[in-house]
Amino acid sequence: MGSFYLVLATRLPKEESILTPPSHCDNCKKKLKFYELIPVISYIFLKGKCCGCKKNISKLNIIVELCTGILFGLGFYLYNFSYELFAFLIISSLMIIIFISDFKYLVILDGPLFIGIVAIIILKFIYFGFNAFINSVLSGIILFIFMLLVKKIGDKVFKKESLGWGDVKLAIFIGVVLGLRLGFCAFIIGSFLALPYALYYINRKKEKEVPYGPFLIGAVFINFIFMDQISNFINLLFLAS
Ligand SMILES: [Zn+2]
């Protein structure tokens, strides 16, 4: 899955096909044989170099493969077979794809996002019934409208694009998977995570645009794992006031 996500996240933003050409060396274009396509193992076996031209293979390959394996394993360890496991796998998959495509190309792909949203809605219906399903859909719509308002106001105030459409569409996924309270919580955590990165790259490196998607989906991941603790914390805050 990790190798596949890397192909999706690096080819789709450039509008290349994910089927052709088959996996090849980016430098000498040599087509890879089956024993050069085994995740992690081939990379170690080839010592990180193409066996045709000896050029280094991008470390991103082994990093993405390892991270995907570890995350999927963690999912089974934490949740066994349950709704939580499937939701965790979907969040992790989307997180890997958004990390690559948004950091590299400032793009959040519609396809994986759409599949993630639909899959979560169906899972909620199967596991928790009709009310949970409606709740999930409504939360998605409300967070989408909220993010759209933030974008429209931001665009007016700063007189340029303040928020990408990808982030606005990502809000649907956040609402669908986390619901309203935890969803808003993910916005807050995501913004705090993004702040140091944005300050550094805009002030120091003079970048004009920085990605927000990886921080948002990272916050979704954190909110999902620590859902109970964060819910308790929010309850305490409301009780205290
Ligand atoms: Zn090569």
Q: What pTM, to 2 d.p., does this model score?
A: 0.93
**Does 52 map to a domain?**
yes
**Does 44 map to a domain?**
yes
152-187: pLDDT as tens digits: 999 999 898 889 999 999 999 999 999 999 999 999
- Greater model confidence, 91 or 26: 91
**Does 31 map to a domain?**
yes
Domain membership of residue 32 as a residue range:
1-70
Nearest to 108 by CA among 39, 171, 195: 171
Expressed in angstroms and rounded, the spacing between residue 97 Cα and the centre of ligand 1 is 25
64-96: pLDDT as tens digits: 999 999 999 999 999 999 999 999 999 999 999
Domain count, the chain: 1
**Does 171 map to a domain?**
no
**Can you list the positions of beta strands (E) in 82-188?**
none
**Does 201 map to a domain?**
no
Expressed in angstroms and rounded, the spacing between residue 58 Cα and the centre of ligand 1 is 11
Expressed in angstroms and rounded, the spacing between residue 48 Cα and the centre of ligand 1 is 11
**Does 180 map to a domain?**
no
**Does 20 map to a domain?**
yes
Expressed in angstroms and rounded, the spacing between residue 152 Cα and the centre of ligand 1 is 47
**Does 170 map to a domain?**
no
- Which bin fits 198, alpha (ψ -120 to 50), beta or left (φ > 0)? alpha
How does the average pLDDT of the chain come out, rounded?
93
